[in-house]
A = this chain, B = another copy of it.
């Protein structure tokens, strides 16, 4: 009946007219079907079909103050560490009619502020950060904003709002404990330069008790940089027995370089990674690593934010998901 050429997209007003009800009734039939009569609801739904109506969520958000968008901020999309988290976050939000706005900081505090400002302008119902918010100014602004903020992949006594993650210091000390138990003495560290990797190094050193030659590689952590790191460490530490790496890809590079130099792993050189990437479990030798439940971080972040939006906030602001060490062939004989 109202099948005009779609010169102008249909608005709720058109739907209401087609259904013979008022605008607000049409709105309720779609947004809160329980409170209108069955008959009305059906007629409105038919009118939606007939008009090809697509709701404008921007307009809805303007009045209702709920944009149904969540900002998700990563250092860079190429940091594969965070991908499972972003994936489940996006999927869980989608289930509830929320969408993710993606931003990248490139490990730069200034860009972080810029990206956060850009996100905030879009009135997100929540903000999920991979890592802690670096800039103190940004932390302060976010606090004032009264928007749920979830920092992830780290732990803090003083989060902006909520935090889901684990202690990188403890990961480091757990690895040091493992190295000690294995009896390694001349060791090295190959690490990315980001805050979290450096925290793991700190934790390692604290438990290890003395300084350790360290090759710091710029982001992103690639296989090639792992290879170069081994070269550097072997020069600096004669008789190198074991290397702790800040990612599985760096560890992979160490394995490749070790083989190229004729070193047997783990007999001549032991290697550990971080992140439990899929490939590490199935290589030969497989890579000893630290596992963190990345997907769960994303799911939990989504739910914490959506609960806040619904007003069913829990008091718990710190969620420590822990980690565990997975011993594999790169440090131990099968």
Contacts and interface: CB of A to CB of B under 8 A. Distances in A.
A80 interface: yes
A86 interface: yes
A249 B283 CA distance: 11
Interface in A63-122: 67, 69, 72, 76-78, 80, 83-84, 86-87, 90-91, 94, 97, 99-104, 114-115, 117-122
Looking at A97, A259, A281, A283, the one whose CB has the most chain B CB atoms below 10 A away is A283
Interface size class of A (residues with CB under 8 A): 35 or more
B83 A77 contact: yes
This chain: how many copies in the complex?
Answer: 2
Interface stretch (A52-60, A174-182, A230-238, A308-316): A52-60
Contact of A102 (B100, B144, B252): B100
A90 B117 contact: no
B99 A119 contact: yes
B121 A56 contact: yes
Interface in A165-202: none
A218 to B, nearest CB: 14
Interface of A: 6, 54-59, 61-62, 67, 69, 72, 76-78, 80, 83-84, 86-87, 90-91, 94, 97, 99-104, 114-115, 117-123, 144, 222-224, 227, 249, 252-253, 256, 259-260, 278-279, 281-284
